Amino acid sequence: MRAGTGRLPCDFPQRLRRLKDLAGCTWDDFAEVLGVERKRVLGWLRGTEPHGGAYHNLVKVACRIPGGLRILLGEDLVAPVRED
């Protein structure tokens, strides 16, 4: 995936599972932390992409977990900024 395409990595469901596991949550707990119903998170696992406030909350949670943003979005999207 190229940065700026607005699309999530093809393996996003696996990334979401890994993030949930690192957070030490059940799917119910994970959904509660994200402020969504469990069925919405399960939909993401089946290929629906998060959007709006749910996506924002997912990124916020990923930022609180060491390496979480990289896990969620992929290395190519969170590469260090080059200083000139």
Q: What are the tens digits of pLDDT across the range 6-44?
A: 577 889 999 999 999 999 999 999 999 999 999 999 999
Quote the number of domains for the chain: 1
CB 79 within 8 A of CB 23: no
Query: Tokens 């992409």 correspond to what residue?
Result: 49
Query: What is the domain range of residue 35?
Result: 12-77
Check the CA dihedral 9-12-16-21 and report its sign. Answer: negative
pLDDT digits (tens, 9 = 90+) for 36-70: 999 999 999 998 989 899 999 999 999 999 999 99
Q: Is residue 32 part of a domain?
A: yes
Give the phi and the psi of residue 24 in degrees, each rounded to 5: 70, 30
CB 58 within 8 A of CB 5: no
pLDDT tier for residue 3 given thresholds of 50, 70 and 90: very low
Residue 59: what pLDDT? 92
pTM of the model: 0.77
Q: Is residue 1 part of a domain?
A: no
Q: Is residue 17 part of a domain?
A: yes
Q: Which two tokens stand for residue 83?
A: 């200083």
Q: Is residue 84 part of a domain?
A: no
Q: Is residue 63 part of a domain?
A: yes
Alpha carbons 66 and 57: distance in angstroms, whole number: 16
